[in-house]
Amino acid sequence: MKRVTSLLLAGAFLLPTLATLSGCGGSGDEIVLKVYNWEEYIDEGGEGSFLYDEFMGENGQEEEGELLGADFLDWYKETTGTPLTITEEGPSVIDDFEKWYEKTYGEKVTVEYSTFGTNEDMYNEIVLGNEYDLLCPSDYMIMKLAAEGRLEKYDEAFFDETDENNYYVRNVSPYIAGKFATNAGLATLDNLWKDYAAGYMWGTTGFVYNPETVSEEQLESLDWRVFIEESAPFTNKITAKDNVRDTYFAAIGVTFEEELTALYQKFLAKELTAEEYTKELTKYFNDTSDEAIEKVEPTLMKIKENIYSFETDTGKADLVNGNINLNYAWSGDAVYAMDLAEEENDCYFNYFVPLSGSNLWFDGWVMPKGVSERGTKQAAQAFVNFLSMPYNAMRNSYFIGYTSVISGEKNEMLDYADYLYGYYPEDEFEEGEEYPEPVEYDLSYFFLGENYGEDVEHITIPADPEQASSRQLYAQFPPESVIARCAVMDYYGEEASVRINELWSRVKAETLDAWAIIVICVTVVGIALFTVFVKFGNKIDLRRKPKKGYKFVSREDPTRI
C-alpha cells in the first residue's frame, strides 16, 4: 500500500510541474504565445539596434536621433505605456509587444520566442507535433504547409481596415499585398496566400561582386553563365548555395538562358505584358519535369566543377577576404556583406540581379492549426499587427538588414529609406567641390502598388547614382525594373521534391562507375572473408566426422601427442 501512496504523492508533486511545462496558457488569464522565427530575425534591442544607434551617442550619452525624435518618444510611451529607456539589452520588440498587448486588449501575454536555422528544420518540428502559435517560413514552405493543411487562416477581421489595431492591413505595401492576393507563384494553392500568411521581409537573389575584379559589362553579357564560365575572374571564384532549391533555380537560369533572355526581350519590346511575362518566367524557374531535370543535371555538374564552394553563410567572409569574386546571395545578406566590407575593409562591393530573371522571395507569418483551440489566435494576429507598425518595421528592418514588407499608411518607410540612402550633396560637400549629381530613385510601385498610373505623382528619393544602380539601395529597395524580371519559387509538390532531392544527392556526391563499385565491394568482401578465416580458421575442422565413440583431439589441446 505504501508504494501506491508514494506513487500518488509523487504524481501530485509532478502535476503542477507538468502544467507549467506544457504552458498552454489555459490557466488564469495569462496567454503564452509561442513564436518560432529565423535566427536573428527580430530586433531584440541593445547594441546594433535602431533605437540604440539613434538615441545613444558615441559615449553612451542620450541624444536625439537623426530620424527619430520627440514624435517617436511620444509614440513609444503611448504604445507601451512606459517611457523609452535604452539599455545594453533592450528594449526588445518582443517585450514591447507584451506591454502593448496588455494595454490594448487588457490581457497579459508572454511571448515564448524560439528560433530555427532552415525551413526544413522548422517543418520537422511542426510535423513532430511541437506546438507553436506563429511561424515565419519562406514562400515555398508557406505553400507546402498550406497544401498539407497544416495552417489556420487569418480571421476576416484581420483585414478590416476600419479597426485601428489592424496595423498590418493598413501599413503593408500595396505591391506586396497585391502579390499575396493573387498568388505570385504558380497558384498551386486553392486559397490565396493572404488567407494564410502575412508578409514580414522580402527581397531578391543576385550576385554580390567585387567591382575591382569583375566588371558590370562582363556580368551583363554572361548573366547566369558566370556559374559555368571557365575563365578568370569567374572560375573557382564564385559560390553557390548549399541547398537544392536555390542552386536548382540558378541552374535553370544557366540552362535556359537563351529562352529566358528571349522572353525578357519580348517584355522589353512590350510584346508581353508584365503579368504575362512574370507568369512565363515563373513557369520556367519552377519547372521540375523530367525533361527539365535531365537538362539541368549536366549544368549542375558543371557548376559544381566551376565554383569555389557551396555555402550557406561563409560566402560573405570569403568575398571580404578575397577568396572569391562573386557570391550568389539573398539581397539582405548582400547588403550586410557590402556594409561589412565598407566599414571594416574600406572596399566597395556591388550587387547584380541577372537580366534574364531571378528570384523574388518572401518570409511571412503563418499560424499552424490549433491556435484557435489554444485561444492564442488573437494574440498571434496582434503580434503580426504590432510588427507592422511602421516604427517597429523600421526597428526590425534596421536590425536584420532585410527589407520589410511594410510601406506605412502615410509612407513612413519612405522616410526610413531616405534616412538610410537619401543623398543630399549640398550638405555633404563644400562649395566648389565636385560631386556626382543625385538621381531620382523611383519607388512608386512599392508605395503605391502596381497600377499607380502615369498621372500620379511618383514617389522617389534622391540617391547617389552608384547607390541607385548597384549598391545597397539597389539591393535593399530594388527598382521596379528589377522586380519585373523576378519570379517566386513554388512548392514543387511531394513527388517532384523527391526527384529534386535525388538530383541534389547525385550532384553533391561523387558517383563511381558501376565496375568500380563492384571491384571495391568484391575487395571489401574478400578482405572480410580473409579476416574471418584468419580469426576462426583454426576452429573449422574439415576432417571427416569420427566414428561413434571416438573423438578427435583438439588442435590446441596441449596434451595432444
Partner 1 sequence: MKIPRFSRKMLCIPYAVFLIFFVILPMLVILFYAFTDKNMHVSFSNFIRFFSDPTKLSTIVYSLVIALITTVACLIIAYPVAYILARSKLKKKFVIVMLFVLPMWINFVLRVNALREIFNLIAISPAMEWLTSANYFKTIVGMVYDFLPFMILPLYTTMLKIDGSLYEASADLGGSAFTTFTRVTIPLSMPGILSGITMVFLPSMTNYVVSDMLGNAKVTIIGKFIYEYFGTDWHMGSMVALVLLAVVFLSTWLSGGFQSEENVRGANL
- Least separation in angstroms between residue 309's CB and partner 1 is 3
Q: Using CB under 8 A, which of the segments 150-158, 187-195, 383-391, 494-502 binds partner 1?
A: 494-502
Interaction between residue 232 and partner 1 (CB under 8 A)? no
- Least separation in angstroms between residue 120's CB and partner 1 is 4
Interaction between residue 497 and partner 1 (CB under 8 A)? yes
Which residues from 321-340 bind partner 1, rule CB under 8 A?
321, 323
- Least separation in angstroms between residue 187's CB and partner 1 is 24
Interaction between residue 52 and partner 1 (CB under 8 A)? no
Which CB sits closer to partner 1, 2 or 270? 2
Query: Could you tell me if 240 and 206 are in contact, meaning their C-beta atoms sit under 8 angstroms apart?
Result: no
Q: Using CB under 8 A, which of the segments 205-213, 408-416, 433-441, 507-515 binds partner 1?
A: 507-515
Name residues whose C-beta falls within 8 Å of residue 414's C-beta, 6 or more positions apart in sequence.
407, 408, 443, 447, 459, 461
Binding residue for partner 1, selected from 124, 130, 191, 215, defined by CB under 8 A: 124
**Cα gap 337→349, rounded to integer Å:** 8
Interaction between residue 508 and partner 1 (CB under 8 A)? yes
- Least separation in angstroms between residue 512's CB and partner 1 is 4
Which CB sits closer to partner 1, 215 or 531? 531
Binding residue for partner 1, selected from 434, 510, 556, 557, defined by CB under 8 A: 510
Binding residue for partner 1, selected from 118, 165, 188, 444, defined by CB under 8 A: 118
**Cα gap 234→219, rounded to integer Å:** 10
**Cα gap 79→382, rounded to integer Å:** 13
Going residue by residue from 73 to 102, which x/- string records binding to partner 1, judged by CB under 8 A? ------------------------------
- The dihedral built from the CA positions of residue 224, 229, 231 and 236, taken in this order, carries a sign that is positive
Tell me the three state secondary structure of residue 360: strand
- Least separation in angstroms between residue 511's CB and partner 1 is 5
Angle between helices 412-421 and 390-400 (to 10 degrees): 30
**Cα gap 266→273, rounded to integer Å:** 9
Tell me the three state secondary structure of residue 412: helix
- Least separation in angstroms between residue 456's CB and partner 1 is 46
Name residues whose C-beta falls within 8 Å of residue 344's C-beta, 6 or more positions apart in sequence.
320
Please give the full DSSP string across 123-134, using - where no structure is assigned: HHHHHTT---SE
**Cα gap 205→485, rounded to integer Å:** 12
Residues binding partner 1: number (CB under 8 A): 41
Interaction between residue 310 and partner 1 (CB under 8 A)? yes
Binding residue for partner 1, selected from 501, 541, 552, 554, defined by CB under 8 A: 501
Interaction between residue 164 and partner 1 (CB under 8 A)? no
**Cα gap 307→230, rounded to integer Å:** 10
* Alpha-carbon distances of 218 from 81, 214, 302, 326, 347, rounded to whole Å: 56, 7, 20, 12, 20
Which CB sits closer to partner 1, 119 or 388? 119
Interaction between residue 532 and partner 1 (CB under 8 A)? yes
Binding residue for partner 1, selected from 236, 261, 372, 460, defined by CB under 8 A: 236
Binding residue for partner 1, selected from 511, 522, 541, 554, defined by CB under 8 A: 511
Name the one residue in this structure whose C-alpha cell is 544602380.
469
Name residues whose C-beta falls within 8 Å of residue 85's C-beta, 6 or more positions apart in sequence.
91
Interaction between residue 506 and partner 1 (CB under 8 A)? yes
Letter for the amino acid at 301? M
Query: Could you tell me if 213 and 246 are in contact, meaning their C-beta atoms sit under 8 angstroms apart?
Result: no
Binding residue for partner 1, selected from 436, 512, 552, 554, defined by CB under 8 A: 512
**Cα gap 238→231, rounded to integer Å:** 11
Which CB sits closer to partner 1, 221 or 523? 523
CA dihedral 412, 417, 418, 420 (to 10 degrees): 130
Which CB sits closer to partner 1, 310 or 452? 310
Which CB sits closer to partner 1, 42 or 503? 503
Q: Using CB under 8 A, which of the segments 33-41, 216-224, 510-518, 540-548 binds partner 1?
A: 510-518
Which CB sits closer to partner 1, 231 or 451? 231
Tell me the three state secondary structure of residue 509: coil
- What own/partner pairs with CB < 8 Å and gap ≥ 24 does 220-226 have? 220/355, 223/253, 223/257, 223/261, 223/354, 223/355, 223/356, 224/250, 224/253, 224/254, 224/257, 224/354, 224/356, 225/254, 225/257, 226/326
How many C-beta neighbours within 10 Å does residue 457 have?
8
Q: Using CB under 8 A, which of the segments 259-267, 342-350, 402-410, 527-535 binds partner 1?
A: 527-535
Q: Using CB under 8 A, which of the segments 58-66, 85-93, 482-490, 529-537 binds partner 1?
A: 529-537
Question: For binding to partner 1 (CB under 8 A), which residues are involved?
Answer: 1-3, 118, 120-121, 124, 236, 242, 304, 308-311, 314, 321, 323, 494, 497-498, 501-502, 504-506, 508-514, 516-517, 520-521, 524, 528, 531-532, 535
